[in-house]
Amino acid sequence: MPKKILSAEFKRECTELVIVHGYKHKDAAVAMGVGLSSIQRWISQYKKEQQGITPKASALSPEQIRIQELEKQVKQLKIDNQLLKKASAFFAIQMNNGSK
C-alpha cells in the first residue's frame, strides 16, 4: 500500500485537536484517520517547534516552515555566491591573459 503524503497543515490540524481542543490522542487519530503513533510524533514535534527547535523533518508550525524556507534560500545563495566567485576569478585570469 503506497504511503500517504500528508501536508504540514493537515498534521498541524491533527495536533491542534489534542493541544487546543482537548481531544485524547486516540480520539484525534480516529477522527483524522491516521495512526496513533503518527499523532503522538506530530504532537511531540509541534511542541518542540513551539520551543524554537527547528526539526530535521518538514516543519509543522508556520514559523518553523518559514525558517526552513529561509535556511534553504541561504544555502542556495551561498552556492550561487561561490559560483560567482569562481566565475569572476576565471574571467579575471582570461582578461589578464588577453592583455599580455
The pLDDT of residue 50: 87
Give 34-72 pLDDT, tens digit per residue.
999 999 999 999 999 889 888 888 888 888 999 999 999
Place of cell 529561509: 70
Per-domain residue ranges of the chain: 8-98
- Would you say domain 8-98 falls under CATH 1.10.10? yes
Question: Amino acid identity, residue 83?
Answer: L
Q: Is the pTM of this model over 0.85?
A: no
CA 36, 38, 39, 40 dihedral sign is positive
